[in-house]
């Protein structure tokens, strides 16, 4: 099976030709397993590779002066995590694994060749970074306009939709390594506040988390509560 089998799946996956897929495979420098809570890129440091997530969960985050972390993105299998670093040569944020991951790394020299030789693939890689921008806008909306319980619900609606696009959720259950402090850092709340919001979602019979597994009892209800519209993910149903 191709490393990039899930790349842009149900978004623009059908636009990736066999030749494009072969070229993308050939560009991979290394494939490796990475433990949980492991740093992959440090803010402001020069980077020469971009990371594709094959299995697991990766976050992008920023720290304030006291070292308190704010998650600015959570990536799942099928995501190119840091293509931004290819033209920028460094990132303005850190990248780390949340749970055990399998990643493929592509050197920027190889991306140079893909950009020269594969205009269609270049467009799809660009599309991947545009998806990241769309998700950033939605995260700003979520943090700025939704109340606490809706923020948490919206976050899990997004994770569920992205996982379902790569066959890792059935719309009801999926695995997720995030603990309450992680969810708080994604939703702008303390772990104590997150605990209360998860309890409320459970009591409303919408969703629950137990031992790294998320169960959604009422996906339409959770989406309605959270004002979640998946159109910004550009998933082809």
> Which pLDDT value is given to residue 2?
78
Question: Which carries the bigger pLDDT value, residue 12 or residue 163?
Answer: 163
* pLDDT > 70? residue 13: no
DSSP 8-class letter at 123: H
pLDDT band for 6, please (50, 70, 90 cuts): confident
> Which pLDDT value is given to residue 149?
98
* Residue range(s) occupied by CATH 2.60.120.10 in the chain: 13-138
> Which pLDDT value is given to residue 11?
60
* pLDDT > 80? residue 185: yes
Q: What percent of the chain has pLDDT over 70?
A: 97
> Which pLDDT value is given to residue 221?
98
What's the whole-number average pLDDT of the chain? 94
What distance in Å separates the CA atoms of residue 39 and residue 118, rounded to the nearest whole number?
A: 31
What mean pLDDT is predicted for residues 119-140?
A: 94
pLDDT band for 12, please (50, 70, 90 cuts): low
> Which pLDDT value is given to residue 110?
97
* Per-residue pLDDT tens digits for 26-44: 999 999 999 999 999 999 9
Strand 58-63 versus strand 94-97 pairing type: antiparallel
> What Å distances lie between residue 4 and 20, 28, 44, 174, CA to CA?
11, 10, 28, 21
Which residues lie below 8 Å from residue 216, measured CB to CB, with a gap of 6+? Answer: 156, 160, 171, 172, 173, 206, 207, 222
Gyration radius of the chain over CA positions: 18
pLDDT band for 10, please (50, 70, 90 cuts): low
The yes or no reply on domain 147-233 and CATH 1.10.3720.10 is no
What mean pLDDT is predicted for residues 103-117?
A: 96
| Domain 13-138 top-level CATH class | mainly beta
* Per-residue pLDDT tens digits for 41-75: 999 999 999 999 999 999 999 999 999 999 999 99
Strand ranges inside 87-172, DSSP E: 94-97, 101-107
Q: How many CB atoms lie within 10 A of CB 179?
A: 14
What angle in degrees, to the nearest 10, is found between the helix axes of 108-117 and 18-26? 160
> Which pLDDT value is given to residue 9?
62
* Whole-prediction pTM: 0.95
What distance in Å separates the CA atoms of residue 215 and residue 222, rounded to the nearest whole number?
A: 12
What distance in Å separates the CA atoms of residue 8 and residue 46, rounded to the nearest whole number?
A: 27
* Residue range(s) occupied by CATH 1.10.10.10 in the chain: 147-233
Check the CA dihedral 184-11-77-75 and report its sign.
negative
């Amino acid at each position: 099976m191709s490393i990039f089998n899930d790349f842009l799946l149900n978004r623009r996956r059908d636009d990736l030709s066999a030749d494009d897929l072969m070229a993308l495979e050939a560009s991979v420098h290394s494939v490796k397993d990475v433990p949980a809570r492991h740093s992959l890129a440090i803010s402001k440091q020069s980077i020469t590779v971009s990371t594709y997530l094959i299995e697991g969960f990766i976050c992008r985050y920023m720290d304030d002066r006291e070292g308190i972390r704010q998650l600015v993105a959570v990536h799942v299998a099928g995501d190119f995590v840091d293509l931004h670093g290819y033209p920028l040569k460094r990132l303005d944020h850190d990248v780390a694994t949340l749970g055990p991951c399998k990643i493929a790394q592509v050197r920027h020299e190889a991306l140079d060749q893909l950009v020269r030789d594969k205009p269609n693939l270049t467009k799809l890689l660009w599309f991947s970074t545009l998806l990241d921008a769309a998700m950033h806008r939605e995260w700003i909306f979520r943090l700025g306009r939704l109340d606490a319980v809706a923020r948490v619900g919206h976050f899990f609606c997004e994770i569920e939709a992205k996982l379902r696009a790569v066959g890792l959720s059935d719309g009801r259950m999926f695995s997720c390594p995030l603990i309450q402090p992680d969810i708080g850092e994604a939703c702008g709340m303390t772990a104590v506040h997150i605990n209360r919001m998860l309890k409320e979602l459970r009591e409303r019979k919408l969703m629950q988390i137990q031992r790294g597994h998320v169960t959604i009892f009422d996906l339409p209800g959770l989406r309605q509560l959270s004002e979640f519209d998946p159109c910004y993910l550009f998933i082809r149903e």
